[in-house]
Amino acid sequence: MSHTTLKTALLASAILSGAALAPAHAAGAAIAEQNADTTVVLVHGAFADGSSWDKVIPLLQAKGLKVVAVQNPLTSLADDVAAAQRVIDAQSGRVILVGHSWGGTVITQAGTSDKVKALVYVAAFAPSEGEASGDLGKDYPVPPGIATLKPDAAGFLYLPEESVRLNFAQDLPAATTRLMAATQGPIQGKAFGDKTTVAAWKNKPNYYIVAGKDRMIAPQLEQAFAKKLNAVTTVLQTSHVPMLSQPKQVADVILAAAAKR
């Protein structure tokens, strides 16, 4: 092959490669533009904090979504709902409200705003109006992790480090679970007796991620929640924290909720 022929072939290859990439780039730009008016509000659960979403957040941001992780005080349902509602109220466009674990109870109460276009429950409680989280699992065996909870002098419940490793996040490396145990947010035990007064899921599109190997909330109970909500349901064979062990799959569910218009 002559130098001129080789040069021509390389140029043609570059042009064709660029042409192939152009549609994908255009599609990505279109998705980002569509998502520009949408904020994902992430509500963490008990024994965690906002950093529990740190693997999911960049995946959502890469698709053009604004993301805000609420920092729950975990002192009462009313206090946590107020924290979530402050974030919701601060947004100018559409909101996709996501709750993990105890955060499911929070979004059930906090998600009535017209700004909230969908609710996403991640291995989460989903009470009906007038229900308390602590009553929701009474017809199911006590999950192994719940049996290990310890109270401090003020009545806040926390998970011992070993239980975080064995029950809360058993599919994550030990170094990660040690960090999670050290940074966990203990929850005031009385909060589990606080009853909702509304059920936002009755009037919103709902999505539910069941954690099939959950040792904090019975997977069968999660399935029952998903059925009650008539939710688009995804089952992931993970511990109680699928957003850390399978973040892409969790992000995909949130993206699907955001895409629905």
Domain-located, residue 22: no
What is the amino acid identity at position 17?
Answer: S
Domain-located, residue 28: no
* Overall number of domains in the chain: 1
Query: Does residue 34 surpass a pLDDT of 50?
Result: yes
User: Domain range for residue 172?
Assistant: 36-259
Count, in order, helices (H) and strands (E) of the chain.
9, 9
Domain-located, residue 255: yes
Q: What is the pLDDT of residues 159-215, one digit of tens each?
A: 999 999 999 999 999 999 999 999 999 999 999 999 999 999 999 999 999 999 999
What is residue 66's DSSP assignment?
Answer: E
Query: Does residue 25 surpass a pLDDT of 60?
Result: no
- For residue 164, give the CATH number of its domain: 3.40.50.1820
Domain-located, residue 171: yes
Domain-located, residue 7: no
Query: Does residue 24 surpass a pLDDT of 50?
Result: no
Q: Residue 211: its pLDDT value, please?
A: 99
b/e string for 214-250 if b means 16 or more Cβ within 10 A? bbbbbbebbebbbeebebbbbebebbbbbbbbbbeeb
Q: What angle do CA 184, 223, 136 make, to 5 degrees?
A: 60
Q: What is the pLDDT of residues 113-159, one digit of tens each?
A: 999 999 999 999 999 999 999 999 999 999 999 999 999 999 999 99
Domain-located, residue 8: no
- Which helix or strand (DSSP H or E) is residue 170 part of? none
Task: Label residue 178 left, alpha or beta by phi (over 0 means left) and psi (-120 to 50 means alpha).
Answer: alpha
Q: What angle do CA 255, 66, 251 make, to 5 degrees?
A: 25
Average pLDDT, the chain: 93
User: Would you place residue 33 in the very low, low, confident or very high pLDDT band (cuts 50, 70, 90)?
Assistant: confident
Please give the structure tokens belonging to residue 78. Answer: 């009313």
Distance CA 169, CA 120 (A): 20
What is the amino acid identity at position 8?
Answer: T
Domain-located, residue 20: no
Domain-located, residue 117: yes
Closest CA to 169 of 45, 39, 27: 45
Distance between the two ends of the chain, CA-based, in angstroms? 55
β-pair partners for 232: 207
